[in-house]
Amino acid sequence: MRDTTSELMSGRMAATALAHVREARTPVESRPASTVILLRDTAAGPEVYLLRRQRSMAFAAGMTVFPGGRVDATDATIADSWSGPSPAWFADRLGCSADTAAAYVAAAVRETFEESGVLLAGPSSSSVVGDTTGADWEADRIALETRELGFAEFLHGRGLVLRADLLGPWAHWITPEFEPKRYDTCFFVAALPAGQITRDVTSESDQVAWMRPADAVAAVDAGELLMLPPTYVCCRELTPYADVAASLAAAGDREIRTVMPTVRVDGDDAYLETT
């Protein structure tokens, strides 16, 4: 039996959860999304790339998150630009159809490029693009972000294949039913490719940083950072690993189970419970 954690909610989240339970509101449908836990090695140990979402955002405002976002309609059309484990392999790990798994993986790569400038793709199955900071790359990144350019069109135009082998499935979380915006999100781990650098480019964040997972967890515990449970739990789970290679190896052995926190109401208090 798995342990259940219970956390007292406050502010907007508590008010929304209480209203949802007391008014028996119908949950909105969750939308598929992908997130990448981007890692790099340092002398002090592995670090993870984190962004703080703009406080004006409709979802997770002010929260510190990994790069990611919702699956786009064009993400399922990249079958001929794919290298690495098959969509069926990812489907078996994630518990979904092969088409859905392909869209999750494509969205993970696309969103990471859109939000950090890092591209997990290359001209062949054994190579990765190098520097992506040029003006032409930035023009393509913006076109992808604004949906003026489809992901498959982007890969075809540059003669690239998506490197699915660079992604390791890590977790699967669904936003609680009381939230007005809900996502069915797959989390992947990946190493920062040699020659590439992260860039503070997305308009959705106001601050970016590389942090050791243990330091990120400590900052949340001290009230210095705000994180949704999935981000916090993933950072905590990464703390034992001494380097990026160990984290990636661990992804191969993980049981990917779907987690959807629930609400427990006790009088005027609402608790977020995760099993």
Tens of pLDDT, residues 192-207: 999 999 987 765 666 7
The pLDDT value recorded for residue 202 is 63
The answer to whether position 18 is within a domain reads no
* Positions of the chain with pLDDT lower than 70, given as ranges: 1-2, 54-61, 202-206
The pLDDT value recorded for residue 204 is 61
CATH number for the domain spanning 112: value is 3.90.79.10
The answer to whether position 130 is within a domain reads yes
The answer to whether position 36 is within a domain reads yes
The answer to whether position 262 is within a domain reads no
Domain that holds residue 76: 27-257
The answer to whether position 5 is within a domain reads no
The answer to whether position 266 is within a domain reads no
Q: How many domains does the chain have?
A: 1
Neighbours of 31 (CB within 10 A): 13
The pLDDT value recorded for residue 206 is 67
pLDDT in tens, 241-265: 999 999 999 999 899 999 999 999 9
